[in-house]
């Protein structure tokens, strides 16, 4: 028996056919026990007040960033377990770990969770953690709206995540195309969960977009003109504007589907002259800019990481900004490449095929700019830099296969095959996930005040990246061999067995990488390596001029920006004492007060959504009234700001050695 057969055999022994994996009742019991355990712990340790004051009602962008990060990592786990279930099912021909229905539910949840509840919050975590600090602001433009965004996202995520144990999971894929997502073919509440959770989370996303758009445009420190702004702030600005343009079509598409399912309309049904393809059109008007919403922040992160760890200014700043703008503009004119096969005709298909290929040009510009930044630089192979180095070849392969997919006649072959699956995992994992992980390791000391152990993080990196290549390279060839996406099982003798086995092994390697990452975080928390300098990487931008973690008010004294990499310039010119305050010049600082309104508003949305999912309209109305009540309270409540008095600021800054004597 070969090694490969032996491993397959072992997995089959461990998970006998047709047992629900994981057993839902077991999960339910586990969740209940876990929730009770957390509550008992909070009660015994008297931490409820702390939790409420410090986290649940906070409007501080730094804490909201940390909560986004935790949520994103939990969702990465959930989506990752789904991925492992998918890969285990496909380990060999005729493997029946799950039935077809459960398999459909698992891949639907995998896609939805990874895009909307892992990648998006991870991006917002880094926006919150870094953008206000690097532009010299004391908070985002609308701190309470920021908290509302987070809690609405969190309750939307909970809504999707409870679906499998309460009522049933959605099963129509993360795009939920009609007519299969319509009531006639998909009865039950699963699809309702999908529609409501994305609708609710989408409100939070749009609010975050508005927030960071205004923050970057209005809250910059004096002297920081747009052309002196760090590229990550540029990417936040452009991502936010993409969010504003892209999410309304999704809202419309989901809303109309909801009217179809709950109130008997027929916008997208087959019966009564509905137009199912109009949903597809609307979804991808959102969907294509969405993938740029995911990748732009990664571009921004790499544009920060590369100069710092090459000890060189970014090569071609203007070209970087220009290419970001070009990509964002072009991204609105490419969406038909997701459905060339609809048959809109050669004119339409050629137009959108060509516009898709055009995007490769500004992306290529960025690639070369990163390479030229590294060229001749003094490169330090830290963990953020390792993720960046892994990103470059990965994204080039992903981008090149994207151009292959944009060729219309060839796309009739590639469409919905594993070739396409491999392509978009190549760009989303190899681009976005590598990017946000690079950013997470880069800004971790600034967020938490302690560093992650580099050796462990390097092992996590090695397993994850190796696993990534082993998982997705075979899938290109599976696609060329004719394997289509979403197959619950496949027969032997098609030449797919060996490639699938390797792909599954790769996914296990990625899982090991993730486990090491979690171990790394826990170990580094228990053996903290405190960042006392505030500038562990010898950084270039303003966030590194602050202590780690930054005090509640961020800047005791708002800096006057003179050059592009201001902190670097201050260090070169010996102006680092500029960040210090003196006892006679210190001013009281106004910060926004904590508010319980955001979490209440989000809870009301949650109650209303549950009502809509199960068509309990009394409950939906109750939730709706709760939303109105929370908004009314929010409009009329007393929002006098909290004043941190000068003596307290002086004491805090003095404790960190930032007062001129």
Partner 1 sequence: MDGEEQIDTAPTGHGDEVEVGFLAPRIHAAPFPGMQITGYVLSMALTLAAFGLVAYHWLPLSSLVTVILVLAFIQAALQLGIFMHLREARGTAWHLPVLALALFVGLGIVGFSIWIMLFKSGVS
10, 19, 35, 226: residue in contact with partner 1 (rule CB under 8 A): 226
Closest separation between CB of residue 479 and partner 1, Å?
26
Burial of 387 (0-12, 13-18, 19+ CB in 10 A): buried
- Candidates 336, 383, 389, 597; binder of partner 1 (CB under 8 A) is 336
Number of residues that bind partner 1 (CB under 8 A): 24
Q: Give the residue carrying structure tokens 């809870």.
A: 603
Cβ-based nearer residue to partner 1, 4 or 562: 562
Q: Is residue 220 close enough to count as binding partner 1 by CB under 8 A? A: yes
State the DSSP string of 252-296: HHHHHHHHHHHH---SS-SGGG--HHHHHHHHHHHHHHHHHHHHH
Cα–Cα dist 347/349, whole Å: 6
Strand partners, 591: 642
In degrees and rounded to multiples of 5, residue 102 shows phi and psi of: -65, -35
Q: Does 222 bind partner 1 (CB under 8 A)?
A: yes
Tokens 């931490």, residue located: 47
Element (H, E) at 576: none
343 binds partner 1 (CB under 8 A): yes
**Which of positions 263-282 make contact with partner 1 (CB under 8 A)?**
275, 277-278, 281-282
Residue 505 touching partner 1 (CB under 8 A):
no
Binding residue for partner 1 (CB under 8 A) from 49, 345, 491, 493? 345
Q: How far are the Cα atoms of 137, 212, 546, 574, 575 from residue 559, in angstroms, in the given order?
A: 9, 20, 11, 15, 11
Answer whether 453's CB lies under 8 Å from 524's CB: yes
Please select the residue that binds partner 1; options are 348, 591, 629, 650, rule is CB under 8 A. Answer: 348
* By the rule CB under 8 A, 218 interacts with partner 1: yes
Q: Which of 561, 566, 290, 300 is nearest to 443 (CA)?
A: 300
Residue 32 near partner 1 by CB under 8 A:
no
Cα–Cα distance measured from residue 133 to residue 547, given in angstroms and rounded to the nearest whole number: 11
Q: CA–CA separation, 84 vs 119, rounded Å? A: 18
Name which of 333 and 449 has its Cβ closer to partner 1: 333
Instruction: Considering the complex, state which of residue 279 and residue 434 has its C-beta at the smaller distance from partner 1.
Output: 279
Can you tell me which of 93, 167, 173, 223 binds partner 1, judged by CB under 8 A?
223
Nearest distance from residue 256's CB to partner 1, in Å? 14
**The one among 52, 77, 180, 332 contacting partner 1 by CB under 8 A:** 332
Residue span binding partner 1 (CB under 8 A) among the ranges 328-336, 411-419, 425-433, 496-504:
328-336
Asked if 249 touches partner 1 (CB under 8 A), the answer is yes
Q: Binding segment for partner 1 among 213-221, 372-380, 430-438, 447-455 (CB under 8 A)?
A: 213-221
DSSP string, 291-329: HHHHHHHHHHHHHHHHHHHHTSPPTTHHHHHHHHHHHHH
Which residues in 229-248 contact partner 1 (CB under 8 A)?
A: 245
Would you say 155 or 352 has its CB closer to partner 1?
352
Q: What is the 3-state secondary structure (H, E, C) of 390-423?
A: HHHHHHHHHHHHHHHHHCHHHHHHHCCEHHHHHH
Q: Which of 29, 40, 342, 350 binds partner 1 (CB under 8 A)?
A: 342
29 vs 342 by CB, closer to partner 1: 342
Nearer to partner 1, 332 or 424 (CB): 332
When the beta carbons of 345 and 657 are compared against partner 1, the nearer one is 345
User: What is the DSSP pairing of strand 589-591 with strand 642-644?
Assistant: antiparallel
Whose Cβ is closer to partner 1: residue 342's or residue 381's? 342
Stretch 82-141 residues interacting with partner 1 (CB under 8 A): none
Q: If you ran DSSP here, which 8-state letter would residue 642 be given?
A: E
Question: Which distant-in-sequence residues (6+ apart) come within 8 Å of 183 by Cβ?
Answer: 260, 261
Binding site for partner 1 (CB under 8 A): 217-218, 220, 222-226, 245, 249, 275, 277-278, 281-282, 285, 332-333, 336, 342-345, 348
């Amino acid at each position: 028996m070969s090694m490969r057969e032996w491993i397959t055999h072992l997995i089959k022994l461990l998970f006998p056919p047709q047992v629900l994996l994981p057993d839902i009742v077991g999960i339910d019991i586990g969740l209940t026990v876990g929730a009770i355990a957390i509550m008992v712990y909070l009660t015994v340790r008297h931490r409820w007040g702390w939790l409420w004051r410090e986290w649940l009602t906070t409007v501080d962008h730094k804490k909201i960033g940390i909560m986004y990060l935790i949520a994103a990592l939990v969702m990465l786990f959930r989506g990752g377990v789904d991925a492992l279930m998918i890969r285990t099912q496909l380990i060999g021909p005729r493997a029946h770990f799950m039935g077809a229905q459960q398999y459909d539910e698992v891949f639907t949840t995998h896609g939805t969770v990874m895009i909307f509840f892992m990648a998006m919050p991870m991006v917002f975590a880094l926006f919150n953690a870094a953008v206000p600090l690097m532009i010299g602001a004391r908070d985002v433009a609308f701190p309470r709206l920021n908290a509302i965004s987070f809690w609405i996202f969190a309750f939307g995520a909970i809504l999707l995540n409870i679906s499998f144990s309460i009522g049933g999971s959605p099963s129509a894929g993360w795009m939920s195309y009609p007519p299969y997502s319509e009531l006639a073919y998909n009865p039950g509440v699963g699809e309702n969960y999908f529609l409501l959770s994305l609708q609710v989370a989408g409100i939070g996303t749009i609010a975050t977009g508005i927030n960071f758009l205004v923050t970057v445009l209005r809250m910059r420190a004096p002297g920081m003109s747009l052309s002196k702004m760090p590229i990550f702030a540029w990417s936040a600005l452009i991502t936010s504007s993409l969010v504003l343009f892209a999410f309304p079509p999704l809202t419309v598409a989901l809303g109309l589907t909801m009217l179809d399912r709950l109130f008997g309309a027929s916008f997208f049904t087959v019966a009564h002259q509905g137009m199912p393809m109009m949903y597809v059109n609307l979804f991808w008007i959102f969907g294509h800019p969405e993938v740029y919403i995911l990748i732009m922040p990664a571009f921004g992160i790499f544009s920060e990481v590369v100069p710092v760890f090459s000890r060189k200014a970014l090569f071609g700043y203007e070209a970087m900004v220009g290419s970001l703008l070009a990509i964002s503009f072009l991204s609105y004119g490419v969406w038909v490449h997701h459905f060339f096969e609809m048959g809109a005709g050669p004119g339409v298909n050629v137009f959108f095929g060509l516009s898709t290929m055009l995007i490769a040009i500004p992306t290529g510009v960025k690639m070369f700019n990163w390479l030229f930044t590294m060229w001749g630089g003094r490169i330090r192979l830290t963990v953020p830099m390792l993720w960046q180095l892994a990103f470059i070849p990965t994204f080039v392969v992903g981008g090149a296969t994207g151009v292959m997919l944009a060729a219309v006649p060839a796309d009739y072959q590639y469409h919905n095959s594993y070739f396409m699956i491999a392509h978009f995992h190549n760009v989303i994992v190899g681009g976005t996930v590598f990017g946000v992980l690079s950013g997470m390791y880069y800004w971790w000391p600034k967020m938490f005040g302690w560093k992650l152990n580099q050796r462990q993080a390097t092992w996590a990196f090695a397993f994850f990246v190796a696993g990534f290549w082993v998982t997705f390279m075979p899938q290109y060839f599976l696609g060329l061999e004719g394997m289509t996406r979403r197959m619950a099982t496949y027969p032997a003798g098609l030449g797919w067995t060996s490639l699938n086995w390797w792909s599954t092994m790769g996914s296990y390697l990625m899982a090991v990488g993730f486990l090491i990452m979690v171990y790394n975080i826990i170990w580094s928390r228990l053996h903290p390596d405190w960042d006392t300098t505030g500038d562990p990487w010898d950084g270039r931008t303003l966030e590194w001029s602050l202590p780690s973690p930054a005090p509640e008010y961020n800047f005791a004294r708002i800096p006057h920006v003179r050059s592009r990499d201001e902190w670097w310039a201050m260090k070169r010119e010996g102006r680092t004492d500029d960040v210090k305050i003196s006892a006679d010049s210190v001013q009281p600082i106004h910060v926004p007060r904590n508010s319980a309104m955001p979490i209440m508003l989000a809870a009301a949305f949650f109650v209303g959504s549950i009502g809509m999912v199960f068509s309990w309209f009394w409950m939906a109305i109750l939730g709706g009234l709760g939303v109105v009540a929370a908004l009314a309270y929010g409009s009329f409540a007393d929002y006098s700001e909290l004043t941190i008095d000068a003596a307290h600021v002086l004491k805090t800054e003095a404790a960190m050695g930032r007062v001129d004597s």
